[in-house]
Structures are given as structure tokens and as C-alpha cells.
Amino acid sequence: MGKSLTRKILESHFVSGSMEPGNEVFVKVDQTLTHDINAVMTYLAFEAVGLPRVRTECSVSYLDHNLLYVNNMTPDDHIYLQSAAKKFGVWVSRPGNGVCHTVHVARFGKPGKLSMGGDSHTPHGGAIGMLCIGVGGMDVATAMTGVPMRLKMPKIVKVNLTGRLAPGVNAKEVILEMLRRESVKGGLGKVYEYVGPGAATLEVPQRATIANMGAEMGATTSIFPADEQVRRFLTAQGRPQDYVELLPDADAAYDEVIELNMSELKPLMACPHLPDNVKPLTEVPKKKVQQVFIGSCTNTSYADVAKAAAVFRGRHVHEDVQCTLGIASRQTYRELLRDGWLDTLVEAGVRILEIACGPCCAIGQTPPTNGVAVRTSNRNFKGRSGNPTAEIYLVSPESAAATAVMGTFATAEEVMGDEIAKLAEIREPAAYIVDDSMLIPPLPPEEAEKIEITRGPNIKFLPVPDVPEQVLEAPVSLKTLDNVSTDDITPASAEFSSMRSNIPLMSQYCYHRYAPDFAARAKALGRSIIVGGENYGQGSSREHAAINPMFLGVKCVIAKSIARIHKGNLVNHGIIPMLFADPSAYDSIEQGDELRIEQLLDQIPTRRVTVKNVTKHFEFETVLDLTDNEIEVVLAGGQLRYLKKQLEQQ
């Protein structure tokens, strides 16, 4: 049997392990990326390791998420990150250059490379035939040391795309349909490989929408072939030399196959409060909308915004709607300005925001109390917008524009009628504006040695967890429901994001919206255990959702299931992730129950741990879904301690 794209790339980066699904494999990482609100912890960890320079082919520090300088904290973080990048041989993308995923694919990505990024939407790069995996910041720091990265070998799912998108139907509909079928946890342990005649019709930015939002299925990553569309894209970016054809073999073997005919798709909508709550847009009861946001790395390519502008042409934003646009890159902004699309949008009453992530992660444009917001971004968890009372609906740019015009949910066809056919004429530019003046290249080693890293007063130490002990007895400090997100654990917004370089401060707001009394309770208890439901820790890769509980004394999380990236972050930061062997045991545990684990260090390597509920006088079994290496990291007391030992032995 032939090989898939995923297997070809993993084999070319293979260092050790087994490439059987579910087994542990170690791979060489070519590229890394970080962004400002998560990166301080990453570079503090790299500093602690003591290496003078990164050992990757290319590492980039993006200053793109929190550009609302509501106080001194974020500008101080940006100065720290820029000085750390100069010190350690890292590229910097300056504020205003664009969102990390969009810029990285345009200016750094190369087919066949393996990248790890400190953001869950790193799989965006799969649009050009890269294998791009979202991880926590400690994993990025590890990758920058050149140490091979652990990965649980995924199952590889072939998604055979046929047909062609109709005018008014966006690539967003493809990934929303996938979410409808697979669910927010259906992709756990899988890579989705999009192939077929339908895939060949999709331009790279359309593919990026699908690969980017594949993170919402819990997938390891998603990938498209490096074919003629990728060659055209890299040539348009002035980088034809970086193109390498990379296709699956005609007889490639896959673990699963999904058939999806794009010609059958109609406009879709993800309804509150999960991205997989997907329905045909025309079947969703119409509601009055107060806010529309067209933006995020997911859906603001040139063609996306131009199509939205075409819907607005000759029309105006409804008087009851606030409509904003956040374009993902400076390059795209300039092209839309050059071609008159921005003028069309401004004429229609659309407000143009800064070139940044912004409202997607609750940095500005929070909806009103009990508000209804329609967005083109990738997540609609409760509180993701900064307001837990709001209802967030996810749609394509064409549908978002139509909704802004009508004041209620609407499709482009409802607004444009027969004119909708004109949307098919809008394509990506044949040649992009190339201007890398907002990228700062790494300094030569001899100059980097002279750099002093600048730290503002808000940048505090990186907490290092304790090594686990043989006996753990602790109360349950929190029992959560299903689908708790990292937004629930560590809230988003400009204010909270600016705290992320200060764990003693940020930890005070741990579970702030979900359980406001948690931080004080956990700190008073000294050591405790969290009990979780299904899909615990879904969503953003922010490792603060592990660091903050660890700092507050949480020693383990026992849940029905745990999202992939969050599980890795728990391991890295010394919190032991356990799964109920029998999920019904969850129902018998309450907050405040005292739990006791004996012979913990002996039980961990067996991957089965017996827990006693001292309060209710019963025992239950847990399973540790961890690789051999993850077991070693847990016993070492986290990744930083383990990594230092590895490097000392080199």
C-alpha cells in the first residue's frame, strides 16, 4: 500500500518510536511559532534551560493578539519578547504585521516541513502541505532546544472532497459540516487529510479556513496536498523556490475515509455554545443581531473580505447592528485598500479594526448583555467573547455581511438574489504585495550575545511544580461539567490577557467566570484535586489553564476525557491527568470530598491508579492515557525538570 501525506512527512522527520496509531513517536521539528499572550512563559522556560540560541530551522515570535495596550503590561511583554528573540535567534513579527497563522503560511511556511506552534490553530499551515501541530508553550520551548518532540501517532483520516462550492457558500461550510459530523471531540487522536477533485478547486486561503478550524474537532492536525494551488500561492508570494510537490500516493492507506460533496453544501451556522452545534442557516430561527464581526485568522483572506464587501455594495449596515472588520494581515489589508474593497466596506458603515486577533479572543468588541453576535471566527464557547451572557453564532464572511445588512440571520443569496453569481468571480490575487519590513530577522550569534533581555515589572518567574510524592491526599476543590474550555479556566479579554506573564496575579482569576470562588478556595486548601467531565480543557492551547491551577496547588485532574493539548500542558506542568475507568464514578464524587492515593509513584507506570474517596468510603479506578515519555515527565515533576536532565546528558 502507498503512503499518505501525513505518513510521508512523519517518516521524513522520524527519530525514534513506533508509527503505529496510538504509539509514541519522536520527531524532529523544523519550525516553531509563538504569539504574545502565551509566549512569555515559553521564553522564560527557554531561558531557564540555558541554551544561547534556538536550534530550529526557523522560529518566529508574533506580536499579534493583544494590541490594546490597556495598561503597561502588554507593551512590557512585547519589549521582553522582542529582546528575547534577538537574544536567542528568533524572528519577530511586529505589532500590525498580522495574525501569526496567516503571516506564517504566507512568509515562512514550506511544504513538507513539520511545525509546532503555541496556539491551537497552528494547523492553519496544513493548507500548503505542512504538518503543523498546536501545542503548549513548554512544548514549543522544548522544540526550540532541538530535542525531538513526542507525539502520539495519530490515525489518518482521508476526507475525499468532490464537487465545487457554489457562490455564497464558503470553505467555512466545509469545516462546519465536518464539525457537524465529527463533533468537538471526534477528531481526538486523528489527522484529517483533505484530498480529491474538490480539494484541487480550493485556493490556499480556503484550505487554511478548513485546516485552521479542524482544531475544533480536537484533531492533532489537518493537511492538504502541496499541489498546483500551493505552487500558485507560493509564486504569488514571491517564493516559488520554496514549492515542493507533495501528494499522497494513489494507493495510500488510511484508517478511515469520509466522503464530502461540496456541491451539496448550503450556508451553515454554528449555534451557541459549541462549534459543532451546526445547523443550516436558513433553518435557524431568525433573531435580532446586535453585533457582527468579520475577522480572525480563520476567515479574512483577500477573497473572503472582498466577497463580504460585494454583499455590502450598494447597501448599509442595519441601524441596530455594530459591524466590525479585523483583517488578518497587513498584506491583505493593503491589497483590499488598493482594489477599493475597503472603501466599499467603509461606505457601508463597517468599522475597520486593528490588524490583530482582537474580538476572536475577547480583546475588544465584547457583545452587550444577553447580546446576539455573529462572527466569522472559530469558537463560540460561553464567555469566549468576553461576556458569558452573550450568544455567539459562527458563519462565513458572506453570511456575516448579509446578516449585518438585514439585522437578523441571513444568507448572501437572501440579500443579493441573482447577483450572487458575481461572487464566483472573486479570487485571490495573482501576485501578493510583498513587504517584509515589519519582520525583524534574527541577529548573528556574535551580536545576539551582547543583547540584554528587558523585563517589565509585571513579568514574574515561571513556576516549577513539585515532584510527585508516594501518597497524595487532597480534597476536591472543583467538580466541573462537560466541555469545560481553557477560556473557562483562564478567561480571555484584553485585561486578563495582559496578566499572563504574571502567574501570581493571573492565578487569582483561575476559573473566574466558571467558579469565582475557586482560586481563593484552592489556595486555602494548599493542595487539591479537580474532577472534570467530558472533553475537559477543550479549545485554546493556553498553558496558563494548567500553570494557574498548578500554582494554586492542584495535583491532579480526574476527568471523563481530556482534550489533547490541555492534557499535554497538564503533564508539562506537573498536574497528573487521570481518566475515570468507569465514568459512572464521576457521579459519586462531590466538591469537598477527600481523596487519597497510596503508592502513587508505583502505580503511575502501570497506567492504572486506585483512588479512595475517604469521605464517602469507596474506591474507584483511573486510567492514565499517557505515553512512556509522558510517564517519565510526570515522575520527574514536569517538562522543565525533565528537559534539563536530557540536555545535561547530551
| Domain extents in the chain | 11-264, 268-417, 472-648
Q: Which pLDDT score, from 0 to 100, does residue 613 have?
A: 97
Q: Which fold has domain 472-648?
A: Aconitase; domain 4 (3.20.19)
At position 409, the amino acid (one-letter code) is F
d(CA 208, CA 125): 7
d(CA 117, CA 136): 8
Spans of the chain below 50 pLDDT? none
* Residue 596 CA to its chain's centroid (Å): 35
d(CA 535, CA 488): 13
Q: Which pLDDT score, from 0 to 100, does residue 646 have?
A: 83
Q: How far apart are the first and last CA of the chain?
A: 38
| pLDDT tens, position by position, 96-143 | 999 999 999 999 999 999 999 999 999 999 999 999 999 999 999 999
Contact status, residue 379 vs residue 362, Cβ threshold 8 Å: no
Q: Which pLDDT score, from 0 to 100, does residue 648 have?
A: 79
Bridge partners, residue 18, by sequence = none
d(CA 631, CA 188): 20
Alpha helices in 214-323 (DSSP H): 228-236, 302-312
C-alpha cell at 454: 528587558
d(CA 230, CA 208): 11
CATH number of 268-417: 3.30.499.10
In this structure, the number of other CB atoms found within 10 A of the CB of residue 471 comes to 11
At position 169, the amino acid (one-letter code) is V
d(CA 357, CA 363): 8
Identical topology for domains 11-264 and 472-648: no
Query: SS3 of 130, please?
Result: coil
d(CA 501, CA 645): 25
Beta strands in 114-266 (DSSP E): 114-117, 131-134, 149-152, 155-162, 190-195, 221-223, 256-261
Residue 592 DSSP one-character state: T
Q: Which pLDDT score, from 0 to 100, does residue 359 have?
A: 83
Q: Which pLDDT score, from 0 to 100, does residue 353 have?
A: 95
d(CA 204, CA 225): 10
C-alpha cell at 542: 493556553
Domain 11-264 grouped into CATH 3.30.499.10: yes
Closest-CA residue to 293 (of 340, 362, 243):
362
